[in-house]
């Protein structure tokens, strides 16, 4: 919020859309937004720290890195620049289960190599096992398997899931290209005993309604 000439103007610069099963403190989140702004990122997420339940290895914290430039950010913790949100928002509720849209973000943003990142310095804890959210139950109750939704979304848009790292910034601010060095140290994650149900996600309909309210505020 900025004040100028005696009136308040709402400036929407970054929007973080976390699931309700992520644990973090205010200091960590403030630093997260600082890093996202400092590196002028369009799309980012905090890495998942030690003790987290993890669905994708790429999201697991690399403790010796500040951030990693990647092709993937998980929808449950995605932070968007205003530009990225305008491009991605129409697809956030494309599937009942929320499976699929995060694989489209890379294309929507033009396949950048230093605009999408996972922030290792500011990790959060994913407190519930993957595959146990209400959206999967909602999808199943409507006769839609989350895996089928994912497959159909990928096929519809001609997508292949990509979990790639272009490089990283270490804790001293140096650029690191060597993937073996980047991945040498990882946080310890929690097993979820092979559970096969769907990861907890934000309700997509509620998410889209909230985004419309944010855009309404931004345009005032």
Q: In this predicted model, what pLDDT tens digit does every residue of 53-71 receive, in sequence order?
A: 999 999 999 999 999 999 9
Q: Is residue 208 part of a domain?
A: no
- Number of structural domains (the chain) is 1
195-198 contacts, C-beta under 8 A, 24 or more apart: 195/129, 195/130, 195/131, 195/132, 196/131, 197/131, 197/132, 197/136, 198/97, 198/99, 198/130, 198/131, 198/132, 198/133, 198/135, 198/136, 198/139, 198/146
CA end-to-end span of the chain:
13
Q: Is residue 216 part of a domain?
A: no
Q: How do residues 58-117 score in pLDDT, each as one tens digit?
A: 999 999 999 999 999 999 999 999 999 999 999 999 998 889 999 999 999 999 999 999
Q: Is residue 57 part of a domain?
A: yes
Mean pLDDT is lowest, of 11-15, 112-116, 151-155, 157-161, for: 11-15
The boundaries of the domain holding residue 45 are 12-203
**Treating both helix axes as pointing N-terminal to C-terminal, what angle do 134-141 and 146-157 enclose, rounded to 10 degrees?**
80
Q: Is residue 173 part of a domain?
A: yes
Q: Which pLDDT score, from 0 to 100, does residue 2 have?
A: 33
Q: Is residue 151 part of a domain?
A: yes
């Amino acid at each position: 919020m900025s004040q100028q000439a005696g009136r308040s103007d709402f400036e929407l610069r970054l929007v973080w859309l976390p699931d309700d099963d992520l644990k973090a403190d205010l200091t960590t989140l403030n630093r997260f937004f600082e890093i996202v702004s400092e590196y002028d990122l369009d799309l980012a997420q905090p890495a998942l720290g030690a003790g987290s339940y993890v669905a994708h290895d790429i999201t697991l914290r690399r403790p010796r890195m500040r951030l990693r430039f990647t092709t993937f950010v998980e929808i449950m913790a995605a932070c968007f620049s205003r530009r990225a949100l305008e491009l991605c928002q129409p697809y956030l509720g494309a599937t009942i289960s929320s499976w699929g849209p995060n694989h489209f973000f890379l294309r929507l943003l033009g396949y950048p190599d230093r605009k999408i990142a996972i922030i290792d310095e500011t990790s959060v804890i994913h407190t519930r096992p993957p595959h146990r959210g209400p959206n999967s139950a909602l999808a199943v109750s409507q006769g839609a398997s989350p895996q089928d939704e994912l497959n159909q979304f990928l096929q519809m848009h001609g997508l292949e899931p990509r979990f790639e790292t272009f490089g990283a910034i270490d804790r001293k601010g140096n650029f690191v290209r060597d993937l073996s060095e980047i991945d040498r140290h990882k946080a310890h994650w929690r097993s979820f005993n092979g559970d096969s149900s769907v990861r907890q996600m934000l309700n997509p309909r509620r998410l889209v309604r909230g985004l419309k309210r944010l855009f309404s505020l931004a345009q005032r």
